[in-house]
Amino acid sequence: MSDLPSSSGQAFAEAVAAIERFLVPFDCWSMLDYGLYGDRDEAAGGLRKLSMIDEEAKAKALLTLLNLTIGSQEGAVVPLDLSKALDQIQSVAPILTRNPVFRRLSASARR
């Protein structure tokens, strides 16, 4: 699962939809666990893979992926750079910031 974003490329939203029912929370410490951080590119601030989330369908799929894999219980592991992923979602699809899932994840990122 960790390389789903980078390996699915333009089909990211479809890939998330295909595996959505199998996703469960896991201890994810970084967006690197999702394949969304790395391949450092100074011009992109080191976030080249995260920038592949570049349209509303992908942003919504990423939000779904994060919601299903980041636990909501007390003591759940939250990726240290979750706020960067949420910033990308917000920049691509600002309407998703009204979604309760976005707000839950945003609150988790501030812990």
pLDDT average, residue stretch 85-93 = 97
**How far is 97 from 111, CA to CA, in rounded Å?**
18
Q: What is the pLDDT of residue 8?
A: 83
N- to C-terminal Cα separation, the chain: 25
pLDDT average, residue stretch 21-44 = 77
Tokens of 72: 């909501």
Q: What is the pLDDT of residue 4?
A: 67
pLDDT tens figures, 52-69: 899 999 999 999 999 999
Contact by Cβ (8 Å): 77, 28: yes
Q: Which residue has the tokens 């707000």?
A: 103
Give yes or no for residue 42 having a pLDDT over 50: no
Tokens of 81: 């750079």
pLDDT classification of 49: cutoffs 50, 70, 90: confident
Of residues 94, 97, 31, the one with CA closest to residue 66 = 31
Q: Round the average pLDDT of the chain to a whole number and report it.
A: 87
Q: What percentage of the chain carries pLDDT values higher than 70?
A: 85
**How far is 66 from 110, CA to CA, in rounded Å?**
15
Q: 45: which DSSP letter?
A: T
Q: What is the pLDDT of residue 41?
A: 42
> Does the global pTM surpass 0.85?
yes
